[in-house]
Structure 1
């Protein structure tokens, strides 16, 4: 069905119709986007689930229509400016892999629209309603993942101002997305103490924000309150006692176990007094990591281990020899799939895996992986060259050194451990979930998009391919250690 977006109509029409049967309104926006149904409505607009008819795969997208409830010319003008600012913010912030990408911003029939990437999944509020309260481990992992997103948002001098369970979506790939930047505010130095528009959801809104003076730590307050709600299933209004001047959330745990260490972090996050609160994402992360450094994952947890932010790995420049010039060209032009295949080819050559031992060159290239002896004797200079090329052209997102860091951060050693291997393969996107049989094939092109691909995903074909002996990764990491990579 096609949804009419005329606010006075909203009639559902058959898919083949170009114009609304009821009001005659055009059903395709920009001759491209076909609204399907209403997703929701807020103070500034209405959102629709839509299909992008221009793309062969007909993917879903989200259309947000500016539809202010404000009264008076000045108020509507202000609302219109905020909507336009949201589009500008999304264009920049959508570069983060866990913030929906802005696809278009335009005016049609004197109404403003923005089109965003559709995140398939459920909000954390829906997860709470369906599955009950979150455990301590789920909250810890949620905190780390959202804090990493907020670190990026705050680095762009933006305060989200509306962190709440409804604005956190757990995607079908078990990754959290922060959505709805309609209330976000760009902070300029001269405006840090100025009183601005009062905006945000009252239950999760920091006291200073409710007075029109939001701070970066206001987002941390909202995140802390969100966690308290998810742990108890109770409205934040009922979790705070104005008579006692403190949070009484522990009275509503009903058997849900929360350690004193995490409890103290949450209460400091949600302190009503701004100066008693954590002042930055970094402060929270340091304390959380200190408390939680020995936590292990469980397949039953909702949230997987969050991806670590790319780390700049100091390394000396490498002189690229002629045999790696093709690989460098492919990486420089961001042809990740071809570069992965070229990496396998050159490593087979360097490891002296002879084509003559195979019936055809195709069989040689289809070799599932190098063997243990080839890995143990692989020249360090060549490993450094390949790693340097991958890390340099992916801005330290891909490369052997990145994979080694992730593997060791999970407790991986040269001794094979089935659980650590599965956790590592899941983290870098070689399998889906905790089961190795859920291997993700290279035909899944989306994993070759550097923005969407997990950190450490590539190179893959030589030591991460389907039917690759799982212990080989342990041996490979050991060789990287020997080569000081």
Structure 2
């Protein structure tokens, strides 16, 4: 087993202990020490760090295993590690922030599924390296979220669509609604602190810069922030508010929409965000983001709930007011009818209501890839069964092409979508399987394997096309 040393500056942090590959030894061994610097390797008697995940701010994060867990549960060990030379007052502030992160995770993590749980918090005293002066280290252990953060996702796939950004905003606003309700402000919201797990759920990470809003009046914010994402009041060390996090979420949204860093979107000369000409989105979401990005806290939304209300109103507008029915015409006594007079019918005015235009929502990445897989699967089935029946490739491809064009039109118009794709694919497979194996010359393996291969090929081709398109779009813009 490899154990990674957590002492800062250790020249050879990786240690190999083959005896720990034995499960019994791993559970009972008392302690192991770094063969280079002598640092204890089994933290708090249970956590074995495997590798460094990242470093920044006031700590380093390591991927670790809990040997007291039957399954050797994966977790994250964060070490208090202030960067640079800090004076005693700054060091005390930094250590207080690290301790506060542990307290917040302990209080909030077990209450909300999108905030990682705190598993442990402990100090460690170790003999100094190349000196006899003891050193003290502080660690916290938290739940491991297996996935990619949005900064990594943005780097690998390019700009997000409006629909995808709205989904991110809605999920994080729900988390912030809970966090702010607990009198906590995150103060470091950015794409790298939003993790999407394997199931697609977003998690809010890194509460190392949190601030309690219930402190005494007049207390100022410590100068802890990420440049580009922090609003003016936070950069000046003034009081922070829930709208401080909303400003950072607004910056995160325009970064995801444009795939550009905040410093490339903010014009310091005019003190304004210049991003609207780089994206095509609805006026409603533009107005919401504009308000979130206001430099003055009172000009922004005051709470996450207000932004959610605005988003819901944008997506589902309230029904128009129902006009009261017109009053009945006044009753006029009918004139006496003589043989020389005849009733005259009065013209009736009819009101023609203009048809409501149909607005189709844009396709998400998942929908596009699912459509590619469905089209490739059904295309493979059609070509294969037609070829087996007609015994001519050109005619088979021609007929299959016409049928696939109809299927593509049905998907573009959303006549079939979501679970419809699976139903149609299942019906197509059943028909081709019966026709091809009873009346054609197809083998069972062919009917099963070839459509799957064409589906995978269609997904790969679609993904490559979107990647190349995204790269060219970024180069041109």
1:75 to 90, 109, 113: 90
| 2:151 alignment counterpart | 125
| 2:34 alignment counterpart | 20
Say whether 1:90 aligns with 2:155: no
Give matches, 1:110-259, under 5 Å: 110-188=136-214, 190-191=216-217, 193-213=218-238, 214-253=240-279, 257-259=280-282
1:146 counterpart SS class: helix
Distance 1:56 1:264, change over 3 A: same
Cα shift readout 1:63-118 (whole Å, capped 9, x = no counterpart): 00011235222221221122111111110111210011000001112211000000
| 1:414 alignment counterpart | none
Give matches, 1:455-466, under 5 Å: none
User: Conserved in 2, the CA contact under 8 Å of 1:161 and 1:183?
Assistant: yes
Distance 1:261 1:301, change over 3 A: farther
Shift of 1:296: 6.3
What is the rounded CA distance, in whole Å, between the counterparts of 1:171 and 1:179 in structure 2?
12
User: Conserved in 2, the CA contact under 8 Å of 1:138 and 1:301?
Assistant: no
1:134 counterpart SS class: coil
User: Conserved in 1, the CA contact under 8 Å of 2:243 and 2:303?
Assistant: yes
Distance 1:244 1:195, change over 3 A: same
What is the rounded CA distance, in whole Å, between the counterparts of 1:31 and 1:139 in structure 2?
43
User: Conserved in 1, the CA contact under 8 Å of 2:223 and 2:234?
Assistant: yes
Say whether 1:278 aligns with 2:301: yes
Give matches, 1:465-484, under 5 Å: none
Distance 1:290 1:233, change over 3 A: same
Shift of 1:60: 1.1
Give matches, 1:1-80, under 5 Å: 1-9=2-10, 11-16=13-18, 18-69=32-83, 70-80=85-95
What is the rounded CA distance, in whole Å, between the counterparts of 2:420 and 2:297 in structure 1?
42
User: Conserved in 1, the CA contact under 8 Å of 2:82 and 2:94?
Assistant: yes
What is the rounded CA distance, in whole Å, between the counterparts of 1:245 and 1:81 in structure 2?
34
User: Conserved in 2, the CA contact under 8 Å of 1:195 and 1:211?
Assistant: no
Shift of 1:244: 3.1
Distance 1:251 1:63, change over 3 A: same
| 2:405 alignment counterpart | none
What is the rounded CA distance, in whole Å, between the counterparts of 1:189 and 1:108 in structure 2?
30
TM-score (norm 2): 0.61
What is the rounded CA distance, in whole Å, between the counterparts of 1:4 and 1:281 in structure 2?
41
TM-score (norm 1): 0.60
Greater Cα offset, 227-236 or 158-167: 227-236
What is the rounded CA distance, in whole Å, between the counterparts of 1:245 and 1:198 in structure 2?
21
User: Conserved in 2, the CA contact under 8 Å of 1:90 and 1:102?
Assistant: yes
Shift of 1:49: 0.7
User: Conserved in 2, the CA contact under 8 Å of 1:33 and 1:51?
Assistant: yes
CA RMSD of superposed structures (Å): 2.5
The number of aligned residues is 308
| 1:290 alignment counterpart | 313
What is the rounded CA distance, in whole Å, between the counterparts of 1:283 and 1:250 in structure 2?
23
Segments of structure 1 that go 5 or more residues without pairing to the other structure are 303-416, 424-434, 437-485
User: Conserved in 1, the CA contact under 8 Å of 2:161 and 2:364?
Assistant: no
Say whether 1:300 aligns with 2:301: no
Shift of 1:419: 5.8
What is the rounded CA distance, in whole Å, between the counterparts of 1:102 and 1:189 in structure 2?
23
User: Conserved in 1, the CA contact under 8 Å of 2:266 and 2:273?
Assistant: yes
User: Conserved in 1, the CA contact under 8 Å of 2:120 and 2:142?
Assistant: yes
User: Conserved in 1, the CA contact under 8 Å of 2:102 and 2:118?
Assistant: yes
Shift of 1:418: 8.8
User: Conserved in 1, the CA contact under 8 Å of 2:163 and 2:364?
Assistant: no
Cα shift readout 1:138-167 (whole Å, capped 9, x = no counterpart): 001111000000001101101100000110
Shift of 1:24: 2.5
Shift of 1:131: 0.5
Shift of 1:236: 1.2
1:64 counterpart SS class: strand
1:204 counterpart SS class: coil
| 1:264 alignment counterpart | 287
| 1:470 alignment counterpart | none
